[in-house]
Amino acid sequence: MMQPIRRTWQSLEEVRKAAEEGDPAAQCYLAICYQNGKGVQQDHSEAIKWFRRAADQNDSAAQCYLGFCYQTGTGVPQEYGQAAKWFREAAEQGDPAAQFNLGVLYETGQGVLQNYAEAVKWYHSAAEQGEPQAQFNLGVYYETGQVVPQNFEEAVKWYRLAAEQECAPAQCNLGLCYETGRGAPKNVREAVRWFCRAARQGDKTAQHNLGVYYASLEAAEEATAEATATESVE
């Protein structure tokens, strides 16, 4: 996820004119147009050129995009060290997408020395600003007790915030918390509700959990029917 562009223009030519005059927001927007082929022929090299011009002027959105390009090898050779550099530039300016992405690099040890504490630090910064993937990852750390003290209530808090933004893995994990009573009152109805929301988005674990629930429900109904039939015969 990237930071939204902060200005609007009436035409692409206005964007280009502003970009050529040095406006970093226009440069970033023009880069996005080239990256996505919106209004222009898709050209990743041209996108990188304009992202870099904006990033060099400390535009945090452009820095985050440039980091993502290096992370994925889009328009430039894949280089995690450069990705980390640009994510950090944007993260230190408070960009939540960059904070999340920098956290991922610290968690995986790509472009930086692996450091789970640093990962959690950046996830927390992003999560506080509403970044759903960071909220989910932070919830996992609290649930497992890795780096931070294990705290199921805190895990549920972050899962819920992410789940309400339609983060499917968070919806599934929140359902599991309700199913097991960890960090939230045990509530099968709520568990199934969150499993359903995650399953509709294709979450395989949630789909499996729903299957198990409905299979057990069917088995219980069959057992009840058999017991009732036996009592009637007697």
Spell out a b/e string for 10-33, using b for 16 or more CB atoms within 10 Å of the CB, else e. Answer: eeeeebbebbeeebbbbbbbbbbb
Angle between the N-to-C axes of helices 24-36 and 44-55, in degrees from 0 to 180, rounded to the nearest 10: 160
Work out the percent of the chain whose per-residue pLDDT is above 70. Answer: 90
DSSP annotation of 4: P
Last residue of a domain, one of 98, 119, 140: 119
Q: Does 106 lie in the same domain as 153?
A: no
Q: Does 87 lie in the same domain as 166?
A: no
Q: Does 170 lie in the same domain as 115?
A: no
- Give SS3 for 62: helix
**Dihedral sign (CA 196, 198, 203, 205):** negative
* Mean pLDDT within 26-43: 95
Domain that holds residue 201: 130-228
pLDDT at position 54: 98
Residue 125 domain flag: no
Q: Does 146 lie in the same domain as 115?
A: no
pTM of the model: 0.87
Asked if pLDDT for residue 167 goes beyond 80, the answer is yes
In the predicted model, what is the mean pLDDT of the chain? 92
